[in-house]
Amino acid sequence: MQAQTQSRKLQLNSSMARWSQLPKDLLLLVAQRLNTHFDLLCLRSVCSSWHACVPSRPHPLPSRFPILPTNGTSWGLYLSRRTILCLGLPESHCQPTIGSWLIKVEEDVPDMAHLVNPLSTFQFKHLPPNFPKTFDFSRFRVSELGQEYVLQYMNHRPSGEADEGSLHKGKVAFYSTSNGEDFVMLTIHVSGKLAMFRHGNKRLKTIDDMPSCDDLIFFNGEFYAIDNTGRTVVVAIGSPPVLSLIADSVIGGNKKSLVESNGELLMVNTYFDQGIHGIMNRAVRFKVFKLNQIGHMWVEVENLGDRILFLGEKSTFSAVASEFCGCDGNCIYYTNSFFFPNDQEDDAYTGIGIFNLENGNLGPLSSFPNYSKVIWPPPAWVYIDNIGDI
């Protein structure tokens, strides 16, 4: 009996050992199908031969790189990239009471990162006292949910002009080739028009055919833009760029957002309630649509099922509710510059609300502990030193 189990163990061991000998070109075929930085990092961390075969970064673009201004003034802009991640425990340690943690990281200098609120630009400056000094990603399951690109001023911010802070407040959609040699950036200009910047350009070029643009997204290899009526186009990059209509306008609603969910492109229509003086826009309800490409129209989606949509200030993304303990799907996290009455200044949850598609209820994130703890504070398992065996 012992001999049998012994030989079976040997068999298992030898068959398992073979994977580390997988020929390099075949391992690369597998690696090609893993396209996020963290998946590739994970592959590299498995064994010696895989570490040697798999390239380290999908693209060498730094987290920040300069973009020139449009009108030749002395100040410059740079683009900073942040990654939205869902961190979880390995399966062996999963329990019904343990949920994943949603974070957004920005890597300033190599090996030094910032934690940013996934929905806003609020940086978590005061990390909890026993937060690990070095955070080991290899202990966790890491899924990349999206990337966020933000235009910021390089050094000196010109003073005096009322509008200059909002010149490039708009969303940015970005694409670069895997070797970083070429890139394209699309943004919403202060005039509401689309503007494009390509590698090698000297200035941003505005695209006139799409005024009052509400949102942009890079989805399925193409740039999509939507205006405040819901009219949606695909922007084909070229000189000049060509816009093709993908969907006609919808009726009603104030602000349109584009978000990817489960491989599909969705549109969220935000309905505002004009405040007392008509200045502060408060979101009162949301409708979700999916694209009917053949009919060129947005079709309403009544139920998101297990999915949750996140409409951040500078990016949108989605996740599966079952990742998070105590959360149901079919809801939307959104940002609203209208402060909820019980918001604290500079709180982790400031300006973030959550909307339930099923019953139409909404409220500040701070009122929903199951949903707020998805973002902050860090869950208990982050602090535990030794998860599992090595």
Q: Which positions touch other proteins (CB under 8 A)?
A: 13, 15-20, 22-23, 26, 29-34, 39, 41-48, 51, 56, 90-92, 105, 107, 111-115, 127, 131, 133-143, 388-390
Report the residue number, 132 or 180, with the smaller CB distance to other proteins.
Answer: 132
- Helices 37-44 and 24-32 pack at an angle, to 10 degrees, of 150
Interatomic CA distance for residues 28 and 21, integer angstroms: 13
Q: How far is the CB of 333 from other proteins (least distance, A)?
A: 21
Report the residue number, 78 or 131, with the smaller CB distance to other proteins.
Answer: 131
Interatomic CA distance for residues 10 and 198, integer angstroms: 57
The three-state secondary structure class of 298 is: strand
Please state whether the peptide bond connecting residue 96 to the residue before it is cis, i.e. omega within 30 degrees of 0. Answer: no
Report the residue number, 41 or 237, with the smaller CB distance to other proteins.
Answer: 41
Report the residue number, 115 or 150, with the smaller CB distance to other proteins.
Answer: 115
Query: With contact defined as beta carbons under 8 Å apart, do 223 and 216 qualify?
Result: yes
Q: How far is the CB of 119 from other proteins (least distance, A)?
A: 18
Interatomic CA distance for residues 26 and 29, integer angstroms: 5
Residue 17 sits at φ, ψ, to 5 deg, of: -65, -25
Residues 6+ positions from 330 with CB-CB distance below 8 Å: 303, 304, 305, 306, 307, 308, 321, 356, 357, 358
Rounded to 10 degrees, what is the CA torsion of 263, 120, 320, 267?
-40
Task: Tell me the β-bridge partners of 244.
Answer: 234
Report the residue number, 140 or 298, with the smaller CB distance to other proteins.
Answer: 140
Report the residue number, 103 or 357, with the smaller CB distance to other proteins.
Answer: 103
Q: How far is the CB of 30 from other proteins (least distance, A)?
A: 5
Report the residue number, 114 or 285, with the smaller CB distance to other proteins.
Answer: 114
The three-state secondary structure class of 41 is: helix
Contacts by 304-307, CB closer than 8 A, 24 or more apart? 304/261, 304/329, 304/330, 304/331, 304/357, 305/329, 305/330, 306/330, 307/261, 307/262
Q: How far is the CB of 123 from other proteins (least distance, A)?
A: 9
Interatomic CA distance for residues 83 and 144, integer angstroms: 7
Q: How far is the CB of 109 from other proteins (least distance, A)?
A: 10
Q: How far is the CB of 243 from other proteins (least distance, A)?
A: 30
Report the residue number, 19 or 75, with the smaller CB distance to other proteins.
Answer: 19
Query: With contact defined as beta carbons under 8 Å apart, do 165 and 153 qualify?
Result: no
How is residue 7 annotated by DSSP? H
Q: How far is the CB of 340 from other proteins (least distance, A)?
A: 28
Report the residue number, 1 or 112, with the smaller CB distance to other proteins.
Answer: 112
Report the residue number, 212 or 262, with the smaller CB distance to other proteins.
Answer: 262
Interatomic CA distance for residues 145 and 104, integer angstroms: 10
Q: How far is the CB of 46 from other proteins (least distance, A)?
A: 5
The three-state secondary structure class of 164 is: helix
Q: How far is the CB of 14 from other proteins (least distance, A)?
A: 9
